[in-house]
Amino acid sequence: MNKAIAVGRRAHSALLARVVPVGTDLHSEAGEEFAKLLNLAVLAALVIPVFVVEFVWFRRWDLAILLSLAGTVMVGAPWIARRTANIGLARELFLISLFSFKLYESLLIGSVFSPGSMWFITMPVVGILFGSMVSASCWLAMGVGALVALHGWFRAHPVSAPALAAHAEFMYTYSLVFMGLAIAAFVFMMEVARKRAWVRLQQANATVKELAERDPLTGLYNRRHVWSELEQEERRAGAERSSFFVFLLDIDHFKTINDTHGHAVGDAVLQRVASALGNEIRGTDCFGRYGGEEFILLFKSANGLHPERFAERLRQCVASLSFVSVEGPRKVTVSIGIAEFSPGESFSKTISRADQALYVAKASGRNRVIRAFPAEESDGDAIRTACVRQAA
């Protein structure tokens, strides 16, 4: 069963590729509209021959020929849409063909008692399937109008009322069965379209969310997203009496790179450094651009990995980069300041202490890692003094 479904899907995809204009994204709204029109045409290709056979069986050659002509337009609707690049036109031609044949059938066999008159109610469903409420409303009005007109005409002209076919009961049953199948197929197609639209909406929302969280130049998380992660980590650490680390990383002499080689080179350096550092960061941590040439890392849990050794690994990673493809510096370095979150302080205070450590790393020669002391052991000037002592 699964194999048959897979084969059917491949066949449908191959047929859709022939119908959709070149360059149309199959997952776009236009691609979905073409897919729905193709599904409708396939449904017509399956149902119409059944009724043609019925009319031939009862020797109603006029109905068999007219339905074959109308069916040709209905089945060919996707190719009409391809040639005209107008799905709305193809949809309306499909419905006009169906309406015209059913109106003729109703005039010929039994007025509103004709088995075919019941198909008028399927036309608004097709309009809704394509998301066109205007089309659905028009065809609802035309279907109701046709039934009222048929009723009025044959009521006023009883002499001209056609006799029911000899096998009317069979024809009603036949028509009801296949109309039920068609409506079920319509509803199924609408549900599939709804689910596909929901998936596209979720994907679009995810893309928007991703864009809102990412820095456009480096592709790293932006400051707002890292801030949100820090808030969550602060709450978790407070509840579990645990800790985390904040790393601030700054590219050394970056202003000189921009002033000497231009901002394009500076951007290239930022992108290369961000990519290299991003490859070293664990999936459990949060790494982003803090601003300018500065990056921030939320190091959530050591798990046997020493924070300062990890920071040293990041420093060495940048120091080992070669920029031979950039008309600028051949080597760049970073300075790193580290601070551990202390229970009772805010994460912004932790960042402030990491920033003090970064300041000391810069002041004491750059291209080095400095860790700040806990907040309760020192304030601003004491942090700098302790860090200088550590650097020495």
DSSP H/E element including 271: helix 263-280
**Catalytic residue selected from 32, 54, 92, 293:** 293
User: How far, rounded to the nearest angstrom, does the alpha carbon of residue 148 sit from its chain's CA centroid?
Assistant: 45
User: How far, rounded to the nearest angstrom, does the alpha carbon of residue 170 sit from its chain's CA centroid?
Assistant: 48
Give residues with Cβ within 8 angstroms of 118, minimum separation 6. Answer: 175, 176, 179
Q: Is 74 exposed, middle or buried (0-12, 13-18, 19+ CB in 10 A)?
A: buried
Which of 298, 290, 258 shows the shortest CA–CA distance to 274? 290
How many helices, marked H, and strands, marked E, lie in the chain? 14, 5
User: What's the length of the chain?
Assistant: 392
Q: Which residues pair with 291 in a beta bridge?
A: 294
Which of 31, 43, 36 shows the shortest CA–CA distance to 131? 36
Known catalytic residue at 376 = no
State the amino acid at position 1 in one-letter form.
M
Residue pair 164/113 in contact (Cβ under 8 Å)? The answer is: yes
Residue 333, SS3? coil
Q: Where are the beta strands (DSSP E) in the chain?
A: 245-251, 286-291, 294-299, 334-340, 369-371
Residue pair 230/249 in contact (Cβ under 8 Å)? The answer is: no
Q: Which residues pair with 286 in a beta bridge?
A: 298
Residues noted as catalytic: 293
